[in-house]
Amino acid sequence: MWVSSEIDGIDPPRVALVTGASRFLGGYLVTRLAQHPAVERVIAVDTQSPTKDMLRRMGRAEFVLADIRNPLIGKVIRNMDVDTVVHASTLTKAPKSGSRAAMKDMNVLGAMQLFAVCQKTPSVRRVVLRSSSVVYGSSAKDPAKFTEEMSARRRPTGAFARDMIEVEGYLRGMARRRPDIAATILRLAPTVGNHMPGSVSRYLTSPIVPTILGRDARLQLLHEEDALSALERATVAGPPGTYNVAGDGIVMMSQAVRRAGGLTVPMPYGLFRTVGQALMGPVMKSFNKEELDYFHFGRGLDTTRMRTELGFEPRWTTKQALDDFARNVGLRRVVRTEWVDRTESVLLSALGERMEAR
Protein backbone atom coordinates (compact mmCIF):
# COMPACT_ATOMS: atom_id res chain seq x y z
CA MET A 1 0.00 0.00 0.00
CA TRP A 2 1.60 3.26 -1.10
CA VAL A 3 1.59 6.58 0.70
CA SER A 4 0.03 9.65 -0.90
CA SER A 5 2.68 12.16 -1.95
CA GLU A 6 0.49 15.24 -1.98
CA ILE A 7 1.34 16.21 1.59
CA ASP A 8 3.92 18.98 2.01
CA GLY A 9 4.18 19.45 -1.76
CA ILE A 10 7.02 16.93 -2.03
CA ASP A 11 7.01 14.78 -5.13
CA PRO A 12 7.51 11.02 -4.87
CA PRO A 13 10.67 9.48 -6.35
CA ARG A 14 10.91 8.93 -10.07
CA VAL A 15 13.85 6.51 -9.86
CA ALA A 16 14.58 5.07 -6.40
CA LEU A 17 17.51 2.95 -5.25
CA VAL A 18 17.31 0.96 -1.99
CA THR A 19 20.27 -0.73 -0.29
CA GLY A 20 19.86 -3.76 1.96
CA ALA A 21 17.22 -5.24 -0.35
CA SER A 22 17.70 -8.83 0.80
CA ARG A 23 16.50 -7.95 4.31
CA PHE A 24 13.04 -7.17 5.68
CA LEU A 25 13.04 -3.36 5.66
CA GLY A 26 14.90 -2.90 2.39
CA GLY A 27 13.13 -5.72 0.58
CA TYR A 28 9.60 -4.78 1.58
CA LEU A 29 10.28 -1.09 0.93
CA VAL A 30 11.30 -2.06 -2.61
CA THR A 31 8.04 -4.02 -2.87
CA ARG A 32 5.95 -1.02 -1.83
CA LEU A 33 7.80 1.41 -4.09
CA ALA A 34 7.35 -0.96 -7.04
CA GLN A 35 3.59 -0.77 -6.44
CA HIS A 36 3.57 3.04 -6.35
CA PRO A 37 2.11 4.41 -9.61
CA ALA A 38 4.30 7.53 -9.60
CA VAL A 39 7.61 5.69 -9.23
CA GLU A 40 8.94 4.85 -12.69
CA ARG A 41 11.84 2.63 -11.68
CA VAL A 42 13.04 0.87 -8.52
CA ILE A 43 16.56 -0.52 -8.14
CA ALA A 44 17.16 -2.99 -5.31
CA VAL A 45 20.79 -3.38 -4.19
CA ASP A 46 22.51 -5.82 -1.84
CA THR A 47 25.61 -7.97 -1.51
CA GLN A 48 23.48 -11.12 -1.47
CA SER A 49 20.44 -12.09 -3.48
CA PRO A 50 16.98 -11.91 -1.88
CA THR A 51 14.97 -15.10 -1.49
CA LYS A 52 12.86 -16.27 -4.43
CA ASP A 53 9.76 -15.21 -2.51
CA MET A 54 11.16 -11.72 -1.94
CA LEU A 55 12.17 -11.37 -5.60
CA ARG A 56 8.64 -12.35 -6.59
CA ARG A 57 7.20 -9.74 -4.22
CA MET A 58 9.48 -7.05 -5.70
CA GLY A 59 7.63 -7.34 -9.01
CA ARG A 60 8.94 -4.89 -11.57
CA ALA A 61 11.88 -3.76 -9.42
CA GLU A 62 15.39 -4.49 -10.74
CA PHE A 63 17.84 -6.27 -8.48
CA VAL A 64 21.56 -5.45 -8.69
CA LEU A 65 24.08 -7.60 -6.84
CA ALA A 66 26.54 -4.94 -5.67
CA ASP A 67 28.57 -3.75 -2.70
CA ILE A 68 28.18 -0.05 -1.94
CA ARG A 69 31.94 0.09 -1.31
CA ASN A 70 32.52 -0.87 -4.94
CA PRO A 71 32.68 1.76 -7.74
CA LEU A 72 29.87 -0.17 -9.46
CA ILE A 73 27.32 1.53 -7.20
CA GLY A 74 28.36 4.90 -8.64
CA LYS A 75 27.79 3.68 -12.18
CA VAL A 76 24.36 2.34 -11.23
CA ILE A 77 23.26 5.63 -9.64
CA ARG A 78 24.59 7.76 -12.50
CA ASN A 79 23.56 5.58 -15.44
CA MET A 80 20.06 4.91 -14.13
CA ASP A 81 19.45 8.60 -13.32
CA VAL A 82 18.57 7.84 -9.68
CA ASP A 83 16.93 10.73 -7.81
CA THR A 84 16.22 9.01 -4.44
CA VAL A 85 18.58 6.81 -2.44
CA VAL A 86 17.47 4.88 0.65
CA HIS A 87 20.32 3.47 2.73
CA ALA A 88 18.93 0.58 4.80
CA SER A 89 21.85 -1.86 4.78
CA THR A 90 23.78 -0.99 7.95
CA LEU A 91 24.82 -4.00 10.03
CA THR A 92 23.89 -4.18 13.72
CA LYS A 93 26.48 -6.91 14.37
CA ALA A 94 29.65 -8.17 12.78
CA PRO A 95 29.03 -10.76 10.04
CA LYS A 96 29.44 -14.38 11.12
CA SER A 97 32.48 -14.84 8.92
CA GLY A 98 33.90 -11.41 9.71
CA SER A 99 35.12 -9.22 12.54
CA ARG A 100 34.44 -5.84 14.13
CA ALA A 101 36.80 -4.31 11.54
CA ALA A 102 34.74 -5.86 8.74
CA MET A 103 31.54 -4.49 10.27
CA LYS A 104 32.98 -0.98 10.53
CA ASP A 105 34.27 -1.19 6.99
CA MET A 106 30.85 -2.17 5.64
CA ASN A 107 28.93 0.36 7.75
CA VAL A 108 31.12 3.44 7.84
CA LEU A 109 33.24 3.14 4.71
CA GLY A 110 30.25 1.89 2.76
CA ALA A 111 28.08 4.85 3.80
CA MET A 112 30.89 7.32 3.20
CA GLN A 113 31.36 6.08 -0.37
CA LEU A 114 27.63 5.88 -1.05
CA PHE A 115 27.03 9.46 0.13
CA ALA A 116 30.06 10.67 -1.85
CA VAL A 117 28.48 9.22 -4.99
CA CYS A 118 25.18 10.91 -4.13
CA GLN A 119 26.94 14.23 -3.64
CA LYS A 120 28.61 14.03 -7.06
CA THR A 121 25.51 12.89 -8.95
CA PRO A 122 23.32 15.81 -10.12
CA SER A 123 20.19 13.67 -10.46
CA VAL A 124 20.09 12.76 -6.75
CA ARG A 125 17.59 14.90 -4.86
CA ARG A 126 16.75 12.85 -1.77
CA VAL A 127 18.70 10.54 0.56
CA VAL A 128 17.02 8.63 3.40
CA LEU A 129 19.03 6.88 6.12
CA ARG A 130 17.65 4.16 8.35
CA SER A 131 19.43 4.97 11.60
CA SER A 132 18.76 3.85 15.16
CA SER A 133 18.03 5.27 18.59
CA VAL A 134 21.21 3.52 19.80
CA VAL A 135 22.98 6.80 19.00
CA TYR A 136 21.55 8.13 22.30
CA GLY A 137 23.11 5.31 24.32
CA SER A 138 21.62 4.04 27.59
CA SER A 139 22.74 5.19 31.02
CA ALA A 140 21.51 6.19 34.47
CA LYS A 141 21.89 9.86 33.46
CA ASP A 142 19.46 9.70 30.54
CA PRO A 143 16.46 12.06 30.36
CA ALA A 144 12.94 10.62 30.42
CA LYS A 145 12.78 11.22 26.66
CA PHE A 146 15.46 12.05 24.11
CA THR A 147 14.63 14.73 21.54
CA GLU A 148 16.40 14.79 18.19
CA GLU A 149 18.63 17.67 19.28
CA MET A 150 20.07 15.70 22.20
CA SER A 151 23.10 13.46 22.18
CA ALA A 152 24.14 10.57 24.42
CA ARG A 153 24.79 11.57 28.04
CA ARG A 154 27.58 9.01 28.09
CA ARG A 155 29.36 8.20 24.83
CA PRO A 156 28.03 4.85 23.58
CA THR A 157 30.56 2.03 23.75
CA GLY A 158 28.74 -0.32 21.39
CA ALA A 159 30.09 -0.85 17.88
CA PHE A 160 26.77 -0.31 16.11
CA ALA A 161 26.06 2.92 18.01
CA ARG A 162 29.49 4.33 17.19
CA ASP A 163 29.06 3.38 13.54
CA MET A 164 25.66 5.04 13.29
CA ILE A 165 26.95 8.26 14.87
CA GLU A 166 29.64 8.38 12.17
CA VAL A 167 27.25 7.46 9.36
CA GLU A 168 24.79 10.18 10.40
CA GLY A 169 27.69 12.64 10.44
CA TYR A 170 28.65 11.76 6.87
CA LEU A 171 25.07 12.28 5.70
CA ARG A 172 24.84 15.67 7.39
CA GLY A 173 28.15 16.62 5.80
CA MET A 174 26.83 15.67 2.36
CA ALA A 175 23.67 17.72 2.99
CA ARG A 176 25.77 20.80 3.84
CA ARG A 177 27.73 20.45 0.61
CA ARG A 178 24.60 19.73 -1.45
CA PRO A 179 21.80 21.77 0.15
CA ASP A 180 19.54 20.86 -2.78
CA ILE A 181 19.47 17.25 -1.54
CA ALA A 182 16.73 16.49 1.01
CA ALA A 183 18.47 14.39 3.68
CA THR A 184 16.32 12.40 6.12
CA ILE A 185 17.47 10.40 9.16
CA LEU A 186 15.09 7.99 10.89
CA ARG A 187 16.22 6.96 14.37
CA LEU A 188 14.19 3.82 14.89
CA ALA A 189 13.40 2.52 18.39
CA PRO A 190 14.16 -1.18 19.03
CA THR A 191 11.86 -3.17 16.77
CA VAL A 192 9.81 -6.25 17.59
CA GLY A 193 8.27 -8.63 15.10
CA ASN A 194 8.61 -11.92 13.27
CA HIS A 195 10.79 -10.67 10.42
CA MET A 196 13.24 -8.51 12.38
CA PRO A 197 14.54 -10.59 15.30
CA GLY A 198 16.15 -7.75 17.24
CA SER A 199 17.72 -7.90 20.68
CA VAL A 200 14.47 -7.27 22.59
CA SER A 201 12.67 -10.03 20.66
CA ARG A 202 15.49 -12.50 21.34
CA TYR A 203 15.67 -11.51 25.00
CA LEU A 204 11.95 -12.03 25.59
CA THR A 205 11.75 -15.43 23.89
CA SER A 206 13.40 -17.10 26.88
CA PRO A 207 10.91 -18.63 29.37
CA ILE A 208 13.15 -17.44 32.23
CA VAL A 209 14.57 -13.94 31.78
CA PRO A 210 17.41 -12.60 33.96
CA THR A 211 16.92 -8.97 34.99
CA ILE A 212 19.03 -6.56 37.02
CA LEU A 213 18.23 -6.29 40.72
CA GLY A 214 17.01 -2.82 41.65
CA ARG A 215 16.42 -1.79 38.02
CA ASP A 216 13.33 -1.89 35.84
CA ALA A 217 14.29 -0.55 32.43
CA ARG A 218 11.82 1.64 30.53
CA LEU A 219 11.25 0.23 27.05
CA GLN A 220 9.79 2.12 24.11
CA LEU A 221 9.40 -0.17 21.13
CA LEU A 222 8.45 -0.09 17.45
CA HIS A 223 6.49 -2.70 15.53
CA GLU A 224 8.42 -3.87 12.46
CA GLU A 225 5.48 -2.94 10.20
CA ASP A 226 5.54 0.59 11.59
CA ALA A 227 9.29 0.75 10.96
CA LEU A 228 8.62 -0.15 7.33
CA SER A 229 5.76 2.35 7.00
CA ALA A 230 7.88 5.15 8.49
CA LEU A 231 10.65 4.40 6.01
CA GLU A 232 8.13 4.43 3.16
CA ARG A 233 6.71 7.74 4.38
CA ALA A 234 10.16 9.34 4.51
CA THR A 235 11.00 8.04 1.02
CA VAL A 236 7.78 8.96 -0.75
CA ALA A 237 6.42 12.08 0.91
CA GLY A 238 8.33 13.06 4.04
CA PRO A 239 10.22 16.33 4.48
CA PRO A 240 13.96 16.26 5.25
CA GLY A 241 15.17 16.21 8.85
CA THR A 242 16.02 13.92 11.73
CA TYR A 243 13.18 12.00 13.37
CA ASN A 244 12.77 9.68 16.33
CA VAL A 245 10.42 6.86 15.35
CA ALA A 246 8.72 4.81 18.10
CA GLY A 247 5.34 3.59 19.29
CA ASP A 248 3.37 5.49 21.94
CA GLY A 249 3.99 4.82 25.59
CA ILE A 250 6.49 2.70 27.49
CA VAL A 251 6.58 -0.74 29.05
CA MET A 252 8.72 -1.53 32.07
CA MET A 253 11.03 -4.49 31.60
CA SER A 254 9.20 -6.53 34.25
CA GLN A 255 5.90 -5.87 32.47
CA ALA A 256 7.38 -6.79 29.11
CA VAL A 257 8.61 -10.15 30.39
CA ARG A 258 5.21 -10.94 31.93
CA ARG A 259 3.32 -9.90 28.79
CA ALA A 260 5.58 -12.20 26.78
CA GLY A 261 4.75 -15.07 29.15
CA GLY A 262 8.13 -15.31 30.85
CA LEU A 263 9.43 -15.25 34.41
CA THR A 264 11.88 -12.59 35.64
CA VAL A 265 14.88 -13.57 37.74
CA PRO A 266 16.41 -10.41 39.30
CA MET A 267 20.13 -10.59 40.06
CA PRO A 268 23.05 -8.23 40.77
CA TYR A 269 24.52 -6.61 37.67
CA GLY A 270 27.83 -8.39 38.27
CA LEU A 271 26.09 -11.73 37.74
CA PHE A 272 23.81 -10.60 34.93
CA ARG A 273 25.93 -11.85 32.04
CA THR A 274 27.45 -14.99 33.55
CA VAL A 275 24.37 -16.34 35.32
CA GLY A 276 22.18 -15.05 32.52
CA GLN A 277 24.13 -17.16 30.07
CA ALA A 278 23.61 -20.22 32.25
CA LEU A 279 19.86 -19.56 32.23
CA MET A 280 19.42 -18.43 28.62
CA GLY A 281 22.27 -20.26 26.90
CA PRO A 282 23.77 -18.83 23.68
CA VAL A 283 21.05 -16.15 23.46
CA MET A 284 22.65 -14.17 26.28
CA LYS A 285 26.10 -14.64 24.77
CA SER A 286 24.90 -13.03 21.54
CA PHE A 287 24.11 -9.68 23.22
CA ASN A 288 26.72 -6.94 22.92
CA LYS A 289 27.51 -4.18 25.40
CA GLU A 290 25.02 -1.65 24.00
CA GLU A 291 22.21 -4.22 24.12
CA LEU A 292 23.03 -5.14 27.72
CA ASP A 293 23.03 -1.43 28.60
CA TYR A 294 19.57 -1.14 27.06
CA PHE A 295 18.28 -4.02 29.19
CA HIS A 296 19.80 -2.24 32.19
CA PHE A 297 18.48 1.29 31.64
CA GLY A 298 16.10 1.30 28.66
CA ARG A 299 15.49 4.44 26.60
CA GLY A 300 12.63 6.88 25.98
CA LEU A 301 12.10 8.92 22.80
CA ASP A 302 10.23 12.14 22.13
CA THR A 303 8.24 11.50 18.93
CA THR A 304 6.59 14.92 18.57
CA ARG A 305 8.54 15.75 15.43
CA MET A 306 7.63 12.36 13.90
CA ARG A 307 3.96 13.34 14.04
CA THR A 308 4.01 17.07 13.41
CA GLU A 309 6.74 17.27 10.74
CA LEU A 310 7.18 13.82 9.21
CA GLY A 311 3.42 13.29 9.38
CA PHE A 312 3.69 9.69 10.52
CA GLU A 313 1.45 8.00 13.10
CA PRO A 314 2.42 4.46 14.21
CA ARG A 315 -0.33 1.88 14.04
CA TRP A 316 0.87 0.03 17.16
CA THR A 317 1.66 1.44 20.61
CA THR A 318 4.62 -0.05 22.49
CA LYS A 319 2.34 -2.43 24.40
CA GLN A 320 0.41 -3.42 21.30
CA ALA A 321 3.62 -4.09 19.37
CA LEU A 322 4.90 -6.28 22.20
CA ASP A 323 1.60 -8.16 22.49
CA ASP A 324 1.41 -8.71 18.74
CA PHE A 325 4.94 -10.13 18.73
CA ALA A 326 4.19 -12.42 21.65
CA ARG A 327 0.98 -13.64 20.06
CA ASN A 328 2.55 -14.33 16.68
CA VAL A 329 5.47 -16.35 18.02
CA GLY A 330 3.38 -18.23 20.56
CA LEU A 331 5.05 -16.93 23.72
CA ARG A 332 1.97 -17.40 25.91
CA ARG A 333 3.14 -20.32 28.02
CA VAL A 334 3.19 -21.65 31.54
CA VAL A 335 6.55 -21.60 33.30
CA ARG A 336 7.36 -25.19 34.15
CA THR A 337 8.48 -26.31 37.60
CA GLU A 338 11.72 -27.79 36.29
CA TRP A 339 12.68 -24.40 34.82
CA VAL A 340 12.19 -22.75 38.20
CA ASP A 341 14.20 -25.50 39.95
CA ARG A 342 17.02 -25.13 37.44
CA THR A 343 17.04 -21.36 37.89
CA GLU A 344 17.18 -21.68 41.67
CA SER A 345 20.10 -24.12 41.42
CA VAL A 346 22.06 -21.85 39.07
CA LEU A 347 21.51 -18.77 41.25
CA LEU A 348 22.49 -20.51 44.50
CA SER A 349 25.64 -21.87 42.88
CA ALA A 350 26.62 -18.45 41.49
CA LEU A 351 25.97 -16.66 44.78
CA GLY A 352 27.96 -19.33 46.66
CA GLU A 353 30.95 -18.85 44.36
CA ARG A 354 30.75 -15.10 44.82
CA MET A 355 30.75 -15.38 48.63
CA GLU A 356 33.75 -17.74 48.53
CA ALA A 357 35.63 -15.27 46.33
CA ARG A 358 35.23 -12.64 49.03
Q: Taking residues 47-68, report their average pLDDT.
A: 95
Amino acid at 238: G
Summarised one tens digit per residue, pLDDT across range 188-210 is 999 998 888 788 998 988 888 89
Q: Taking residues 101-113, report their average pLDDT.
A: 94
Number of structural domains the chain divides into = 1
Residue 337 has pLDDT above 60, yes or no: no
Residue 90 has pLDDT above 80, yes or no: yes
Q: Taking residues 315-339, report their average pLDDT.
A: 76
Around Cβ 283, how many Cβ atoms within 10 Å?
16
Residue scoring higher pLDDT (285 or 347):
285
Residue 5 has pLDDT above 50, yes or no: no
Residue 342 has pLDDT above 70, yes or no: no
Note the pLDDT of residue 8: 43
* 34: in domain: yes
Residue scoring higher pLDDT (341 or 187):
187
* 177: in domain: yes
* 132: in domain: yes
Give the residue ranges of DSSP H helices in the chain.
Answer: 24-34, 52-58, 72-79, 100-104, 110-120, 159-177, 199-204, 224-236, 253-259, 269-280, 282-285, 289-297, 304-308, 318-328, 337-357
Q: Distance between CA 203 and CA 210 in Å, rounded?
A: 9
* 224: in domain: yes
Note the pLDDT of residue 357: 57
* 59: in domain: yes
Domain housing 232: 10-197+220-247+300-314
149: domain CATH number is: 3.40.50.720
Summarised one tens digit per residue, pLDDT across range 133-183 is 999 999 999 999 999 999 999 888 889 999 999 999 999 999 999 999 999
* 32: in domain: yes
Q: Taking residues 30-44, report their average pLDDT.
A: 96
9: confidence class by pLDDT, cuts 50, 70, 90: very low
* 279: in domain: no
Residue 282 has pLDDT above 90, yes or no: no
Note the pLDDT of residue 4: 38
* 92: in domain: yes
Note the pLDDT of residue 353: 55
